[in-house]
Structure 1
Amino acid sequence: MQQDTMGDVIGELRASPGRRVFGVGVLSILGLLLLRMGLSGGTGTWLDGLVLVLGIGALWAGWIMYRATERSLVLTEEELRDSTGTVLARLEDIRGVDRGTFAFKPSNGFLLRTETRQPRLWQPGLYWRTGRRIGVGGITRAAESKALADLIAIKLAERAAVDAD
Protein backbone atom coordinates (compact mmCIF):
# COMPACT_ATOMS: atom_id res chain seq x y z
CA MET A 1 0.00 0.00 0.00
CA GLN A 2 1.21 3.46 -0.82
CA GLN A 3 1.16 6.32 1.64
CA ASP A 4 0.41 9.90 0.67
CA THR A 5 -0.44 13.05 2.59
CA MET A 6 -4.17 12.24 2.63
CA GLY A 7 -4.08 8.60 3.81
CA ASP A 8 -3.41 5.10 2.57
CA VAL A 9 -3.92 4.65 -1.17
CA ILE A 10 -5.94 1.53 -1.99
CA GLY A 11 -6.21 2.06 -5.75
CA GLU A 12 -5.28 4.52 -8.45
CA LEU A 13 -6.60 5.14 -11.96
CA ARG A 14 -4.64 7.02 -14.62
CA ALA A 15 -5.40 7.99 -18.19
CA SER A 16 -3.92 5.65 -20.76
CA PRO A 17 -1.07 7.49 -22.55
CA GLY A 18 -2.03 6.20 -25.99
CA ARG A 19 -5.69 7.08 -25.59
CA ARG A 20 -4.72 10.46 -24.17
CA VAL A 21 -2.61 11.29 -27.23
CA PHE A 22 -5.35 10.05 -29.56
CA GLY A 23 -8.18 11.97 -27.84
CA VAL A 24 -6.29 15.25 -27.59
CA GLY A 25 -4.93 14.79 -31.11
CA VAL A 26 -8.36 14.24 -32.65
CA LEU A 27 -9.79 17.33 -30.95
CA SER A 28 -6.78 19.43 -31.98
CA ILE A 29 -6.87 18.28 -35.61
CA LEU A 30 -10.62 18.94 -35.73
CA GLY A 31 -10.03 22.44 -34.35
CA LEU A 32 -7.29 23.18 -36.88
CA LEU A 33 -9.39 21.90 -39.78
CA LEU A 34 -12.36 24.00 -38.70
CA LEU A 35 -10.15 27.08 -38.34
CA ARG A 36 -8.75 26.50 -41.84
CA MET A 37 -12.27 26.15 -43.25
CA GLY A 38 -13.46 29.28 -41.48
CA LEU A 39 -10.49 31.35 -42.57
CA SER A 40 -10.75 30.27 -46.20
CA GLY A 41 -14.09 32.10 -46.34
CA GLY A 42 -15.74 29.72 -48.76
CA THR A 43 -19.31 30.94 -48.23
CA GLY A 44 -18.73 34.56 -47.26
CA THR A 45 -21.61 34.43 -44.78
CA TRP A 46 -22.08 34.19 -41.04
CA LEU A 47 -21.36 30.45 -41.32
CA ASP A 48 -17.64 31.22 -41.69
CA GLY A 49 -17.74 32.92 -38.30
CA LEU A 50 -19.59 29.97 -36.78
CA VAL A 51 -17.01 27.54 -38.16
CA LEU A 52 -14.23 29.71 -36.68
CA VAL A 53 -15.93 29.67 -33.28
CA LEU A 54 -16.34 25.88 -33.46
CA GLY A 55 -12.67 25.51 -34.37
CA ILE A 56 -11.58 27.60 -31.40
CA GLY A 57 -13.96 25.58 -29.21
CA ALA A 58 -12.46 22.28 -30.38
CA LEU A 59 -8.91 23.53 -29.72
CA TRP A 60 -10.00 24.73 -26.27
CA ALA A 61 -11.62 21.33 -25.54
CA GLY A 62 -8.39 19.58 -26.57
CA TRP A 63 -6.41 21.78 -24.19
CA ILE A 64 -8.87 21.13 -21.34
CA MET A 65 -8.68 17.36 -21.98
CA TYR A 66 -4.88 17.51 -22.04
CA ARG A 67 -4.82 19.28 -18.66
CA ALA A 68 -7.52 17.06 -17.13
CA THR A 69 -5.87 13.79 -18.09
CA GLU A 70 -2.64 14.75 -16.33
CA ARG A 71 -4.55 13.93 -13.14
CA SER A 72 -5.29 10.53 -11.68
CA LEU A 73 -8.04 9.20 -9.44
CA VAL A 74 -7.03 7.94 -6.00
CA LEU A 75 -9.09 5.66 -3.75
CA THR A 76 -8.32 5.79 -0.03
CA GLU A 77 -10.09 4.26 2.97
CA GLU A 78 -12.24 7.39 3.27
CA GLU A 79 -12.81 8.81 -0.21
CA LEU A 80 -12.38 8.81 -3.96
CA ARG A 81 -10.50 11.91 -5.07
CA ASP A 82 -8.32 13.12 -7.86
CA SER A 83 -4.59 13.73 -7.57
CA THR A 84 -5.12 17.45 -6.95
CA GLY A 85 -7.13 16.68 -3.80
CA THR A 86 -10.62 17.32 -5.20
CA VAL A 87 -12.96 14.85 -3.48
CA LEU A 88 -15.39 13.15 -5.85
CA ALA A 89 -17.19 11.19 -3.15
CA ARG A 90 -16.69 9.95 0.37
CA LEU A 91 -17.01 6.17 0.65
CA GLU A 92 -19.81 6.39 3.21
CA ASP A 93 -21.80 8.47 0.70
CA ILE A 94 -21.51 5.95 -2.17
CA ARG A 95 -24.51 3.63 -2.40
CA GLY A 96 -23.69 1.68 -5.56
CA VAL A 97 -21.32 0.91 -8.42
CA ASP A 98 -22.68 0.20 -11.90
CA ARG A 99 -20.47 -1.30 -14.62
CA GLY A 100 -23.29 -2.73 -16.72
CA THR A 101 -23.33 -2.64 -20.49
CA PHE A 102 -26.37 -0.37 -20.63
CA ALA A 103 -25.38 1.94 -17.76
CA PHE A 104 -25.00 5.61 -18.64
CA LYS A 105 -21.27 5.64 -17.98
CA PRO A 106 -18.07 6.76 -19.72
CA SER A 107 -16.28 4.41 -22.09
CA ASN A 108 -14.11 1.85 -20.26
CA GLY A 109 -15.49 3.10 -16.97
CA PHE A 110 -18.18 2.81 -14.33
CA LEU A 111 -20.90 4.81 -12.65
CA LEU A 112 -21.12 5.61 -8.94
CA ARG A 113 -24.40 6.53 -7.27
CA THR A 114 -24.26 8.62 -4.11
CA GLU A 115 -26.71 9.36 -1.30
CA THR A 116 -26.37 13.14 -1.51
CA ARG A 117 -26.31 15.54 -4.41
CA GLN A 118 -22.93 16.95 -5.34
CA PRO A 119 -22.04 20.05 -7.35
CA ARG A 120 -21.27 19.51 -11.02
CA LEU A 121 -17.69 18.74 -11.92
CA TRP A 122 -16.11 17.65 -15.18
CA GLN A 123 -12.63 16.58 -16.16
CA PRO A 124 -12.96 15.39 -19.77
CA GLY A 125 -11.59 11.92 -20.36
CA LEU A 126 -11.29 11.14 -16.65
CA TYR A 127 -14.57 11.76 -14.80
CA TRP A 128 -17.75 13.77 -14.51
CA ARG A 129 -20.07 14.39 -11.60
CA THR A 130 -23.63 15.63 -11.75
CA GLY A 131 -26.25 15.34 -9.06
CA ARG A 132 -26.04 11.92 -7.44
CA ARG A 133 -24.02 10.30 -10.23
CA ILE A 134 -20.31 10.15 -10.88
CA GLY A 135 -19.03 8.75 -14.16
CA VAL A 136 -15.44 7.51 -14.05
CA GLY A 137 -13.50 6.57 -17.17
CA GLY A 138 -13.21 7.73 -20.72
CA ILE A 139 -9.62 7.42 -21.84
CA THR A 140 -8.61 5.10 -19.04
CA ARG A 141 -7.70 1.44 -19.44
CA ALA A 142 -10.68 -0.86 -19.03
CA ALA A 143 -8.83 -3.30 -16.74
CA GLU A 144 -7.69 -0.54 -14.38
CA SER A 145 -11.19 0.97 -14.27
CA LYS A 146 -12.68 -2.44 -13.53
CA ALA A 147 -10.15 -3.02 -10.74
CA LEU A 148 -10.98 0.34 -9.13
CA ALA A 149 -14.73 -0.34 -9.43
CA ASP A 150 -14.18 -3.77 -7.81
CA LEU A 151 -12.24 -2.18 -4.93
CA ILE A 152 -15.08 0.28 -4.34
CA ALA A 153 -17.65 -2.55 -4.50
CA ILE A 154 -15.61 -4.54 -1.95
CA LYS A 155 -15.51 -1.53 0.39
CA LEU A 156 -19.29 -1.13 0.02
CA ALA A 157 -19.83 -4.84 0.77
CA GLU A 158 -17.61 -4.59 3.86
CA ARG A 159 -19.61 -1.59 5.03
CA ALA A 160 -22.90 -3.45 4.46
CA ALA A 161 -21.60 -6.45 6.44
CA VAL A 162 -20.62 -4.25 9.36
CA ASP A 163 -23.98 -2.46 9.25
CA ALA A 164 -25.83 -5.80 9.22
CA ASP A 165 -24.08 -6.96 12.42
Structure 2
Amino acid sequence: MKNLFAALAAGVVLLALSACGATAPTQSAAQLVATVQVKAQKVCTVSVPFLKSMTAMKSQLSTDAQGYLVVASDKVNAACDVVANAGASAGPISTDKITALVNDGVPALIKVIDESSLDKDAKAAAEIALTAAQLAVSNALADYLSTPAVTTPDPASGAIAS
Protein backbone atom coordinates (compact mmCIF):
# COMPACT_ATOMS: atom_id res chain seq x y z
CA MET A 1 0.00 0.00 0.00
CA LYS A 2 2.91 2.32 0.75
CA ASN A 3 4.25 1.76 -2.74
CA LEU A 4 0.87 2.60 -4.24
CA PHE A 5 0.83 5.96 -2.48
CA ALA A 6 4.45 6.69 -3.30
CA ALA A 7 3.77 5.96 -6.97
CA LEU A 8 0.58 8.03 -6.80
CA ALA A 9 2.45 10.97 -5.32
CA ALA A 10 5.34 10.76 -7.74
CA GLY A 11 3.03 10.49 -10.72
CA VAL A 12 0.90 13.46 -9.78
CA VAL A 13 3.91 15.64 -8.98
CA LEU A 14 5.52 14.82 -12.32
CA LEU A 15 2.29 15.43 -14.21
CA ALA A 16 1.60 18.70 -12.41
CA LEU A 17 5.13 20.01 -12.71
CA SER A 18 5.40 19.08 -16.37
CA ALA A 19 2.27 21.09 -17.03
CA CYS A 20 3.07 24.12 -14.86
CA GLY A 21 5.44 25.94 -17.18
CA ALA A 22 3.99 24.69 -20.44
CA THR A 23 1.33 27.38 -20.91
CA ALA A 24 1.82 29.48 -24.02
CA PRO A 25 1.63 33.26 -23.55
CA THR A 26 -1.51 33.59 -25.69
CA GLN A 27 -3.89 30.69 -26.18
CA SER A 28 -7.05 30.43 -28.21
CA ALA A 29 -10.32 29.53 -26.50
CA ALA A 30 -9.99 26.00 -27.88
CA GLN A 31 -6.48 25.68 -26.45
CA LEU A 32 -7.65 26.93 -23.06
CA VAL A 33 -10.49 24.37 -23.02
CA ALA A 34 -8.04 21.63 -23.97
CA THR A 35 -5.65 22.70 -21.21
CA VAL A 36 -8.38 22.57 -18.56
CA GLN A 37 -9.49 19.16 -19.84
CA VAL A 38 -5.98 17.71 -19.89
CA LYS A 39 -5.04 18.96 -16.42
CA ALA A 40 -8.36 17.88 -14.89
CA GLN A 41 -8.01 14.48 -16.59
CA LYS A 42 -4.60 14.05 -14.94
CA VAL A 43 -6.20 14.61 -11.54
CA CYS A 44 -8.93 12.11 -12.48
CA THR A 45 -6.40 9.52 -13.64
CA VAL A 46 -4.82 9.50 -10.20
CA SER A 47 -7.80 10.32 -7.96
CA VAL A 48 -10.31 7.75 -9.17
CA PRO A 49 -8.14 4.68 -8.42
CA PHE A 50 -7.09 6.25 -5.12
CA LEU A 51 -10.74 6.74 -4.15
CA LYS A 52 -11.49 3.13 -5.05
CA SER A 53 -8.64 1.99 -2.80
CA MET A 54 -9.77 4.19 0.06
CA THR A 55 -13.37 3.03 -0.35
CA ALA A 56 -12.15 -0.56 -0.10
CA MET A 57 -10.38 0.41 3.15
CA LYS A 58 -13.37 2.39 4.42
CA SER A 59 -13.75 0.27 7.56
CA GLN A 60 -10.24 1.29 8.61
CA LEU A 61 -11.03 5.01 8.34
CA SER A 62 -12.39 7.23 11.08
CA THR A 63 -15.94 8.52 10.84
CA ASP A 64 -14.60 11.94 9.82
CA ALA A 65 -12.42 10.41 7.10
CA GLN A 66 -15.41 8.44 5.80
CA GLY A 67 -17.34 11.71 5.50
CA TYR A 68 -14.47 13.34 3.62
CA LEU A 69 -14.34 10.28 1.39
CA VAL A 70 -17.98 10.76 0.42
CA VAL A 71 -17.41 14.44 -0.41
CA ALA A 72 -14.24 13.66 -2.34
CA SER A 73 -15.94 10.84 -4.27
CA ASP A 74 -18.88 13.04 -5.22
CA LYS A 75 -16.73 15.95 -6.41
CA VAL A 76 -14.08 13.86 -8.16
CA ASN A 77 -16.60 11.63 -9.93
CA ALA A 78 -18.74 14.58 -11.06
CA ALA A 79 -15.75 16.48 -12.43
CA CYS A 80 -14.29 13.40 -14.07
CA ASP A 81 -17.63 12.73 -15.78
CA VAL A 82 -17.59 16.29 -17.19
CA VAL A 83 -14.05 15.82 -18.45
CA ALA A 84 -14.79 12.39 -19.95
CA ASN A 85 -17.96 13.60 -21.67
CA ALA A 86 -16.26 16.71 -23.03
CA GLY A 87 -13.95 14.45 -25.02
CA ALA A 88 -12.16 16.21 -27.82
CA SER A 89 -14.70 19.03 -28.00
CA ALA A 90 -13.07 22.41 -28.17
CA GLY A 91 -16.29 24.21 -27.34
CA PRO A 92 -17.10 25.83 -24.03
CA ILE A 93 -17.20 23.50 -21.04
CA SER A 94 -19.12 23.72 -17.83
CA THR A 95 -16.58 24.55 -15.18
CA ASP A 96 -18.83 24.27 -12.11
CA LYS A 97 -17.92 20.66 -11.37
CA ILE A 98 -14.25 21.16 -12.16
CA THR A 99 -14.24 24.17 -9.82
CA ALA A 100 -15.90 22.00 -7.14
CA LEU A 101 -13.15 19.41 -7.69
CA VAL A 102 -10.51 22.06 -7.01
CA ASN A 103 -12.31 23.80 -4.14
CA ASP A 104 -13.95 20.84 -2.39
CA GLY A 105 -12.82 17.51 -3.86
CA VAL A 106 -9.05 17.85 -3.55
CA PRO A 107 -9.22 19.31 0.00
CA ALA A 108 -11.49 16.40 0.99
CA LEU A 109 -9.01 13.95 -0.53
CA ILE A 110 -6.23 15.57 1.48
CA LYS A 111 -8.32 15.21 4.64
CA VAL A 112 -8.89 11.52 3.86
CA ILE A 113 -5.14 11.07 3.50
CA ASP A 114 -4.50 13.01 6.70
CA GLU A 115 -6.99 10.85 8.63
CA SER A 116 -5.66 7.60 7.16
CA SER A 117 -3.20 5.20 8.76
CA LEU A 118 -0.48 5.98 6.22
CA ASP A 119 2.91 6.84 7.62
CA LYS A 120 3.98 10.47 7.85
CA ASP A 121 6.15 10.41 4.71
CA ALA A 122 3.49 8.77 2.52
CA LYS A 123 0.92 11.31 3.74
CA ALA A 124 3.23 14.21 2.98
CA ALA A 125 4.06 12.91 -0.50
CA ALA A 126 0.42 12.33 -1.41
CA GLU A 127 -0.69 15.69 -0.03
CA ILE A 128 2.06 17.54 -1.92
CA ALA A 129 1.13 15.72 -5.13
CA LEU A 130 -2.55 16.56 -4.79
CA THR A 131 -1.80 20.18 -3.96
CA ALA A 132 0.41 20.48 -7.04
CA ALA A 133 -2.33 18.98 -9.21
CA GLN A 134 -4.90 21.29 -7.61
CA LEU A 135 -2.71 24.28 -8.45
CA ALA A 136 -2.27 23.19 -12.07
CA VAL A 137 -6.04 22.79 -12.57
CA SER A 138 -6.73 26.07 -10.73
CA ASN A 139 -4.33 27.95 -13.01
CA ALA A 140 -5.84 26.42 -16.13
CA LEU A 141 -9.35 27.30 -14.92
CA ALA A 142 -8.29 30.86 -14.12
CA ASP A 143 -6.84 31.28 -17.62
CA TYR A 144 -9.97 29.81 -19.19
CA LEU A 145 -12.41 31.85 -17.10
CA SER A 146 -10.53 35.12 -17.59
CA THR A 147 -10.66 34.92 -21.38
CA PRO A 148 -13.47 37.04 -22.79
CA ALA A 149 -16.12 35.13 -24.69
CA VAL A 150 -15.93 35.48 -28.44
CA THR A 151 -19.25 36.48 -29.92
CA THR A 152 -20.21 36.46 -33.55
CA PRO A 153 -22.49 39.30 -34.59
CA ASP A 154 -25.85 38.42 -36.06
CA PRO A 155 -25.66 39.31 -39.78
CA ALA A 156 -29.27 40.49 -39.69
CA SER A 157 -28.38 43.12 -37.06
CA GLY A 158 -26.13 45.06 -39.39
CA ALA A 159 -23.22 44.84 -36.93
CA ILE A 160 -19.79 44.41 -38.38
CA ALA A 161 -17.30 42.00 -36.87
CA SER A 162 -14.02 43.58 -35.88
Scaled by the length of structure 1, what TM-score is found?
Answer: 0.31
Which structure has the larger Rg over C-alpha atoms?
1
Looking at secondary structure, tell me which structure has more helix per residue: 2
Q: Which has the higher contact order (CA 8 A, sep 6+)?
A: 2
Scaled by the length of structure 2, what TM-score is found?
Answer: 0.31
